[in-house]
Structure formats: structure tokens, C-alpha cells
Amino acid sequence: MNETILIVSDSPPFIGQLKQDCYEDGYVSWEAATESETLSLVTMVDPILVVIDLEANCDGLELCHRLREVGYQAVIIVVSEDDSELTCTLTLELGADDYLVKPYRFKEMISRMKVVRRRMIEKLVVQRSVPDDMIENGSYTLIPDQFLFYKDHQVIELTKKEFELIHYLLKHKGEVISRDTLVDALSSDSATIDARIIDVFVSRLRHKIEPEAEKYEVIQTIRGKGYLFTDFEMAYRTHVKRS
């Protein structure tokens, strides 16, 4: 049975060309124009790839998030005329596996899909021996015993105190943590940290793990109370509401 590709767009030229490419390459193609149609077809036809046209009337960024939220595990590739780094970053952070700028080559899209699928399989193999103390939160992964912190599967170099700080914040995600609490958590029998140094640690940590910190704060400052560790999706939604 031929594998299926789901096309999300309301542009007849875009859909027509992509359906022709799918046919010539041996793939079955379905099309959807709205979020509800997409979610329904994902369940019904179980596509190996969802191609989202970012210029379509439906919100492509929100759709990426919704697909992951409902448990869709296969590949999502977003296609757009927008070549800005910010749009690409947001798309990937909200659930897409890859981002292609129009005009694109169909063969390149299929090659990228195959690379993503191979990585997914490799990740499943690795997960069979996941450390018991590993903490995952969205794009962040922390392994305390190995002193390792990853963002998007890339190792982020942290100092000992930065690592202790992100470890504590991750364990208490969604809670407002006061500076005094962080002082106690990061202090040792031989050295007590000044509360003002906590702000320095947080600033350095933000610089390392938040490339869009000026707009999308993952570590949020709660005035008069302390700090709150959230995730990129929540930070992005907060930014949108403020805009």
C-alpha cells in the first residue's frame, strides 16, 4: 500500500503541483483547507507526512501545535514564502520538523522527510535506555547524573551553578520560585549565595537557553515574587496576547 501525504492549503496551484509530484513519486495525497479537516484526516488516513502551506487561511503555527497536542507523531514540514529566521524558529519550536522556503524542490522535501523519520527511529532506540533521573520539558532535556543539558538535542554548556539552577527550575516548572528559595537550593555548607547573585545566574542562563529572550521568556520574572519556569509554547502565547 502506498504511503500517504496530507497537504494543508487552500491554494489550487500549490495543491495541484504537490499532488502531481506525489503521484509521480508513488505517494497517495489528501488535501485539507482547515484545522478541523486536517485533524480529522490525520486520524483517518494516518499520513507519514503533513505539508502545511503557511500562506493558507488557517493558522499554520497553531496547527503545528495542535497536531502535536493530539499526539500526531509523524513528520510535519512547513512551506512558506517567508524566509525570516523568526518565522522559521517559531515554526520549529511549535512542532514542525522542518521548514522550506518557496520555491522548493519536491525531491528535497522527501529527502528531508526521510532524514527526520530516520532520526525518529534512532531516538526510539535510544529511549529504551533512558536514564531514570532524566527530566524532559518540551525542547529541553536534563540528565542530572551526567551533568548534561540539551536544547533541541544540542548540548548547552553550563556552569555548575547554572546547571543547579535550571535543574531546580525544571523540577518546579509552573511554580513561582522566590529568590530566597533559590538561595537555599544553590547554597552549600561551605558557601552561601547572596540573593542578588541569583539575578546574575538567571540572566546568564537566559542568554544561553533563550535565543529570543527579548520576546519569548522561558524563565519569567514575576515582579516582587521571584521566577517562573514555563515553556516556549506558553511564552509564545503570552507574547501574542500582549501584542
The domain at 135-242 falls in which architecture? Answer: Orthogonal Bundle (1.10)
Grid cell digits, residue 237: 502565547
| Numbered ranges of CATH 3.40.50.2300 in the chain | 4-127
pLDDT recorded at residue 128: 45
What is the rounded (10 degree) CA torsion for 109, 5, 65, 32?
A: 120
Give residue 189's pLDDT band: very low, low, confident or very high (50, 70, 90): low
Q: For the domain made up of 4-127, give the CATH fold.
A: Rossmann fold (3.40.50)
How many CA within 13 A on the CB side of residue 189? 0
The mean pLDDT of the chain is: 82
99, pLDDT greater than 90: yes
- Across the range 85-91, mean pLDDT stands at 89
Contacts of 131 (CB under 8 A, 6+ apart): 143, 145, 146
- Across the range 4-13, mean pLDDT stands at 93
| Numbered ranges of CATH 1.10.10.10 in the chain | 135-242
Q: How far apart are CA 235 and CA 103, in angstroms?
A: 31
Peptide bond into 103 cis (omega under 30): yes
Give residue 181's pLDDT band: very low, low, confident or very high (50, 70, 90): very high
Element at 79 (helix H, strand E)? strand 75-80
CA distance to 4, 39, 94, 197, per residue, from 27 (Å): 6, 20, 27, 58
Residue 72 DSSP symbol = -
pLDDT recorded at residue 37: 92
Share of the chain above pLDDT 70, in %: 84
Residue predicted with more confidence, 139 or 36:
36
